Structure 1
């Protein structure tokens, strides 16, 4: 029997229509059988539930440790690597100097030596930033302390050897303070497991898990760390995770579709793909999902003001004193 559609009958006619074998949307739109329309509607609701409700995945709750709260000043995070710094980059001299200025968090990069000691250093090779050559991984920590100098461009340290500090020495020095830590893993992917094991162990030994933010552009390194520490430490996202969190927010879809993985802090540049990423709505929506928002690297005063007005939770900068001056000017 061929189905009858609404166009074929009077409003007063009661029609039995065999149309439920038709595609649901066509059936629901054209068919006059109540049973068919009800079944189609329920199927549609089910699909909506799967699409919009099922895929939601929230971030780690530890991102809340980095949310400053409405009306509060963003965390001042000292960038650990820049030749413009008043003290050698990624050195204990710089960390001491930054802490003395009153920063809220120290940012530094992570590499690993031949004997599995984690150190604060940016590159995988010594060549560009020190007097030494070769891979960081090919030198023991003791050899590094005897030979590697990061102060070459600082005349005041002529005749002195300023070596990169171990991550443990940083925790040992500052674990008794209120300073937070933001470490970026920059090692090879092949070293992800040993790096995760060593870093997680140090965090637990010094009791600084709640003050730590671990970052990496490499998703495998982040996954290894999260698995080792059991998601007990805040992490930013890999490039892919950051996109997965940011795109639904930018498109206004995050209330229904949100799969950021386990990142708990969004670390963003000021703009990307033609979007102004300092839009206050981005910060508000991230907060709604329990994620903090930080911006990097912000050295211009006007950009600092813009980021502060957005309600950001943290600003990574080379210009610590300049940022503090802007914040004071704005009443913080």
Structure 2
């Protein structure tokens, strides 16, 4: 899965979450893209990671406090416009998208875009916030694939009993602080429940091989070039 379109591929440096990066990943042969979502003050959903424009664009300000008429003037790395979620869905109708909702005000506008564009079956929606995961599930129902929220991941990781969750997958780091999140037991329990396990953000080929050997179902990477090489080497690039 191309994280922010493959943010650390040499061709994409400075252009994370841009159409340039997404198109580059698709051109390499990626069928799964990861991006982040924020909503402007007037409810327009954009593919963007930070809550502020400052780090990667030529403008400043908190996205949730700015209308789209202002946000759309910003340029990623001084050149690329910030894409709308609707534009990404329209540009790549055959590509699966993993959407990470970054703020509470983005949940309902995201649900509306996915309903309007009939794109519920094209996406998997995740969030660091368990409340956001619960809310998007309520809005879009059983058709929507979601990741597990943090509470669901913790229960499956630390409590060895069956977890009743509609989530389709766990999208987790190997380690979070001093806590090892991915363990053989967690992977085994997830698979017993029919859930996939995706690990982020893996940019080292040795780690890619090790995790694939362990049986994880997906890798989320900034180095789309390196993961592609690893999968070709393993005969898993299709």
Question: Same-fold call, TM > 0.5?
Answer: yes
Query: Where do residues 1-332 of structure 1 align in structure 2 (5 Å cutoff)?
Result: 77-80=1-4, 84-85=8-9, 86-87=11-12, 88-146=15-73, 148-152=74-78, 161-175=79-93, 177=94, 179-187=95-103, 189=104, 191=105, 195-248=106-159, 253=160, 257-259=161-163, 261-272=165-176, 273=178, 275=180, 277=182, 279=184, 281-332=185-236
Which of 1 and 2 has greater Rg? 1
The structural deviation recorded for 1:290 is: 1.8
How far off its partner does 1:128 sit? 2.1
**Which is strand-richer, 1 or 2?**
2
Q: What's the C-alpha RMSD, in Å, of the aligned pairs?
A: 2.0
Structure 1 unmatched runs, 5+: 1-76, 153-160
Alpha-carbon distance in 1 for matches of 2:110, 2:230: 35
* Residue 180 of structure 1, CA deviation: 0.7
Structure of greater relative contact order (alpha carbons < 8 Å, 6+ residues apart): 1
TM-score, reference length from structure 2? 0.89
Tell me, yes or no, if the aligned pair for 1:245 and 1:260 is still in contact at 8 Å.
no
Q: Which runs of 5+ in 2 are unaligned?
A: none
**Shift, 1:97, TM fit:** 0.8
TM-score for the superposition, normalised by structure 1: 0.65
2:5/2:25 contact within 8 Å kept? no
**Which residue in the other structure is 1:44 paired with?**
none
CA distance in 2, matches of 1:274, 1:217: 16
